[in-house]
Structures are given as C-alpha cells and as structure tokens.
Amino acid sequence: MTAPDATSSAVSSAPAPSWRDSLAVYLQPRVLIVLFLGFSSGLPLALSGSTLLVWMAEAGVDLGTIGLFALVGTPYTLKFLWAPLVDALHVPFFTRALGRRRGWLVFSQALLIGAILLLALTDPARSPLFVALGALLVATMSSTQDIVVDAFRVESLPESEQAAGMAAYVAAYRIGMLISTAGALFIVTGFEAIVPRGAAWMWGYVVMAALVLIGTVTALAATEPAQSERAEAAARGEDALTRVFHAALGAFSEFLRRKEAWVVLAFVVLFKFTDAFSGNMTVPFVIDIGFTRNDYAVIVKGVGIVATLAGGFAGGFVARRYSLATSLWIGGIVQAMSNLSFSWLALVGVNEWALTLAITSDNFCNAIGTVIFVAYLSALCQNPLHTATQYALLTALAAVGRTYLSSGAGYLAKATGWPMFFAISVLVAIPSLMLLAYLQRRGHFETLEQVRV
C-alpha cells in the first residue's frame, strides 16, 4: 500500500472528539434529515435490482437473462444528462411552494411511487419485456430522486457535520436497500398466505411504494439549504434555457479543468466495481446453492442491518480519522476482500452460520467502502450552482460498473462456478487500486482535503 499523504499527519494530530460529541453530531437536525433522505434513496434501487431478480428466478426466468437485467440500471449511468434540469429549472407549484431542492424532491418522489406501482402490475413469467420497461422506469425516477438528494446533502451540511452526515446517509441508504430486499421478501411471504404468488409480489411492491412517503414527509419537514438559496438568487433573471446551459457547461468544464481529470473519472468508475460485480449475483447464488427465499431474508433482515449500521459508522470514523487517500485505501481493500466470504460459502454449502458470516462481512465492509467513496465524491463537488449536475455525473460514472461492466456476471458464474466467480470478483478491484496509487503520487488528494477533511 502506498504511504499516506502528508495531510494525514495534520488530521491525525487533531484532538479526537469525545463519544458524547460524536453522538451529538449524529443527532443534529440536518444530519437526521439526511439520514431519512438516505433511506428514501436506498429503498427503490433493489426494487429494479436484486429483489426483482428473486421474483424472476422464482418465475423460472433463465439465469443469463437475469444477469442481463443489470442493464435496466442504465438511468443511473445517464442521469447526469438531465441533472442540469434539476439544477436550473423550476417545477411548477412545487418550487414556488417548497424551494429549489425541496420542490424537486417531492416531485421526483411522487413520480417514483407511480413507477413502482406500475412495476407491481407486471408478470416476469409472461412478459419479461414489460418487466424490463417497468424496472427501467423505476430506475429513472429513482436516479432523479438521487440527483436531488445528493445535491441537498452536499449543500445543507456544514463542514463539522459532513462526516456524520455521510455515515448516516450511507447507513440509512443500505437499510433502505435491506428493507426493499429482505423486508420485501418477508412481506411477499406473508401475502402468499392469503393470495396467489403473483398477487403476493404485486402487493409487496405496493407496500414498498408506500414507504417512499417517508422521504416525502422528510422533504416537507426540512428547510431549503442556504447555499441553494444563494445560488438561486445569483441566477435570478436568467431564462430557463440559459440556466440549463450554464448548469451543464459550468459543471462539466469546471471538472474537466482539474488536474488528472480523466484519471479521476476512471477511478470513480472502477472503485465500486468489485462490489457491483459480485453484488449483482449474490441473491441468485444464495438461492442456487439451496437456501430458501426466507433463509436469505431472515439473515439479511436481522444480521445484515446491524452489520450495515456498524459498517456505516465505521466508515464515518475512518473518514474523520484518516486522510482521504488513506481512507480510500482502507475502503477499497476491505470491500474487495469481503467477496471471498462468498467463495467460502460456495464451498461449505447450505449452512446458516456460514451464510450469516458471509452476509455480515459483505454488508459491513461494503458500507465502509461506500461511506468513504461518498466522502470523496462530495469533496469533488464545491459549487452550489451545479452541485446536482457534478454529483450526478460522478455517481452516474460509478454506476457504469454496476450496470454495464457487471452485466456479464451471470455468464461468468455459469462458466467458472460460484467459488471461482467470487474469487475473480476480488481481482477486479486491482485496476482501481492502481489508479488510487497514481492519484496519490500526483498529489490529487491534498487540495481536496484542504476543503473537506
């Protein structure tokens, strides 16, 4: 591992906050708002991803086709194309009543609820194409919500609350994903006692749509970020087309003028690739080796949430305690190595303790990596005139690994077998670590840490 950069000594020498001070930061109203918005962002991702894959697997859809369904996440990779609209345009009634960011939040959540309900009406066994279209619509609405939530989070939190806010956001995001995976599976199982399986899945998705209202209530209770209000005042008087043009041009040109900009973009694409590559096939793997839907749900629901919370706060501690470069090294290595727990599970077979250990390791380590990665992306976005556009560009690039690079994971798993597949998923982390070493040598993180860490 490359030695920590010079700024780490300055960070390390700062007096460590007491546990009471650390807890107090997490109880700040702004951090709590970000926490609930994180839950709202994490909830819909699995509904067009892993939960949908369970539904399709039970319906008898071919494993290769299931792997290709990673492509319905395309909106997460293209959301930067309409992010300038979020930065620049007003939503009739919503913006006037709630403000620039909160208006878009409530509007996008209303569309998301409608998209989830539409997906609930599809049938994977009879019409996979309509399922794909419904999932694509959910992903589009979900990614639009993400654009607004990310901008709101970056703009609303002061420096003293950034680390706590990122940890709370990521922990709640992962909990939202767990609720829409394990929680949804429990709900479907409950409905199966009174209605046929197809109808049970439909009502499970209806319940998930209702849970999006948690984010809506949070947006209504929040206040508009001061940075957003100042940016809005600065752009007042410009027509809509000019505002969109300035948001798009400013976001891209400002970023590309950075030193090593193209290397940074490649690093953003690859850092979470190891997680995405294995994660897309985790649910089919667990079911394929002999566990039931409820076996998976019980363990993810119970142990997975605890591990995710612990990993999220551990990632927040690492981000506050160490330099940004050192934190990325820690996060990158642990999230890759956690995939070996699934290789071991594949060799052990159907063993609930082994599954518990694998799920715990995966959730804990990936939460650490995600918190640190979010800290890095937040440090790259500094201008409130186009926070949404820049952050959307970065997270869209990060989604390339989950959507495109990992779309062939199902075929690789069929060709190599599960133990070798998860071992290979560790090795795909190497390119991102090589880029991290290069950026650290070039002094990329020093200017960022002067701003954020």
Contacts of 105 (CB under 8 A, 6+ apart): 37, 98, 145, 148, 149, 152, 215, 216, 219
Decide if 143 is inside a domain.
yes
Is the pLDDT confidence value at 202 over 80?
yes
Is the pLDDT confidence value at 108 over 60?
yes
Is the pLDDT confidence value at 216 over 60?
yes
Q: pLDDT-based confidence at 437, cuts 50/70/90? A: very high
Mean pLDDT across the stretch 249-261? 75
Q: What is the tens place of the pLDDT at every residue in 59-75? A: 777 766 777 777 787 88
Is the pLDDT confidence value at 448 over 90?
no
Cα within 13 Å of Cα(121), Cβ side: 6
Decide if 440 is inside a domain.
yes
What local confidence, expressed as pLDDT, does residue 6 receive?
36
Decide if 401 is inside a domain.
yes
Highest mean pLDDT among 92-101, 165-174, 301-310, 384-393: 92-101
Q: Which amino acid makes up residue 238? A: E
Q: Look at 436 and 394; give whichever has higher pLDDT.
A: 436
Is the pLDDT confidence value at 431 over 80?
yes
Lowest mean pLDDT, pick from 149-163, 178-192, 205-219, 317-331: 149-163
Q: What is the tens place of the pLDDT at every residue in 350-366? A: 787 888 888 888 889 98
Among 302, 372, 368, smallest CA distance to 334 is for 368
Lowest mean pLDDT, pick from 28-37, 107-116, 254-263: 254-263
Average pLDDT over the chain, rounded to an integer? 80
Is the pLDDT confidence value at 219 over 90?
yes
Decide if 178 is inside a domain.
yes
Q: pLDDT-based confidence at 289, cuts 50/70/90? A: confident
Where b means 16+ CB within 10 Å and e means fewer, 58-85 reads bbebebeebbbbbebbbbbbbbbebbbb
The overall pTM is greater than 0.85: no
What local confidence, expressed as pLDDT, does residue 5 receive?
41
Q: pLDDT-based confidence at 234, cuts 50/70/90? A: low
CATH of residue 131's domain is 1.20.1250.20
Q: Find the Cα–Cα–Cα–Cα dihedral 392, 395, 398, 403, rounded to 10°.
A: -70
Mean pLDDT across the stretch 281-288? 79
Q: Which helix (H) or strand (E) holds 280?
A: none
Three-class DSSP labels, 421-432: HHHHHHHCCHHH
Decide if 447 is inside a domain.
yes
What local confidence, expressed as pLDDT, does residue 103 receive?
92
Q: What residue spans of 43-127 are helical by DSSP H?
A: 50-58, 63-68, 74-78, 83-88, 94-98, 100-120
Distance CA 162, CA 372 (A): 12
Domain limits for position 196: 18-451
Is residue 49 within 8 A of residue 204, CB to CB? The reply is no
What local confidence, expressed as pLDDT, does residue 105 receive?
94
Q: Look at 293 and 129; give whichever has higher pLDDT.
A: 129
Decide if 9 is inside a domain.
no
Is the pLDDT confidence value at 184 over 80?
yes
Is the pLDDT confidence value at 340 over 80?
yes
Highest mean pLDDT among 10-14, 147-151, 227-231, 306-310: 147-151
Cα torsion 411, 416, 421, 423: sign? negative
What local confidence, expressed as pLDDT, does residue 450 receive?
42
Contacts of 69 (CB under 8 A, 6+ apart): 52, 53, 56, 132, 135
Q: What tokens were used for 339?
A: 């995939």
Decide if 4 is inside a domain.
no
Mean pLDDT across the stretch 164-183? 83
> Can you spell out the DSSP letters for 179-216?
IIIIIHHHHHHHHHTTS-HHHHHHHHHHHHHHHTHHHH
Q: What tokens were used for 219?
A: 């947006």
Q: Look at 453 and 79; give whichever has higher pLDDT.
A: 79
Q: pLDDT-based confidence at 13, cuts 50/70/90? A: very low
Lowest mean pLDDT, pick from 183-187, 216-220, 249-253: 249-253
Is the pLDDT confidence value at 416 over 80?
yes
Distance CA 22, CA 164 (A): 8
Q: Look at 252 and 123; give whichever has higher pLDDT.
A: 123
Mean pLDDT across the stretch 26-42? 86
Decide if 13 is inside a domain.
no
Mean pLDDT across the stretch 295-306? 71
How many domains is the chain partitioned into structurally? 1
Is the pLDDT confidence value at 342 over 60?
yes
